[in-house]
Amino acid sequence: LMELVESGGGSVQAGGSLRLSCEASEYSYCMAWFRQGPGKEREAVATINIGRGNRGGITYYDDSVKGRFTISQDNAKRMMYLQMNGLKPDDSAMYYCASRRTYCSGLHDGDSYNFWGQGTQVTVSS
């Protein structure tokens, strides 16, 4: 059974930074960060492919976070990270870690992911 556990959320002022972490109990082909803000639908933030093949390490980002967020992973430790810089109030949301058994070719809909963490809260004040 795959288990995903997020950490690193917190409160920060606009322009600040946070680094989120996700620890996985099993390996996967693609991992992703999603978020859901107050009154908003869940949206994909970034994805990263994992493996030795041509897709290994390839990442995808939502336009709203390009240039500010960086997704990365340490496969040996089964860890995934989201470095968030230049945070804005609109980034405030519950952030979720997700994984799937196939490679990603984009962000993909949440229904395509097999496993989910419980989330970590990010609050950005102005």
* Buried-state track 9-43, b at ≥16 Cβ within 10 A, e below 16: beebeeeeebebbbebeeebbbbbbbbebeeeeee
β-partners of residue 20 are 82
pLDDT at position 46: 98
Cα–Cα separations (whole angstroms), residue 111 to 10, 13, 98, 107, 108: 27, 32, 10, 11, 8
pLDDT digits over 19-49, tens only?
Answer: 999 999 999 999 999 999 999 999 999 999 9
Q: Over 80: is that where the pLDDT of 121 sits? A: yes
SS3 68: coil
Q: In the numeric block, which tokens belong to residue 20? A: 């989120």
22 contacts 5 by C-beta, under 8 angstroms: yes
Q: Which residues contact 39 (CB under 8 A, 6 or more apart)?
A: none
> Band of the pLDDT at 52, cuts 50, 70, 90?
low
pLDDT digits over 71-119, tens only?
Answer: 999 988 999 999 999 999 999 999 999 999 999 999 999 999 999 999 9
Q: Which residues contact 4 (CB under 8 A, 6 or more apart)?
A: 22, 23, 24, 25, 97, 98, 99, 115, 116, 117
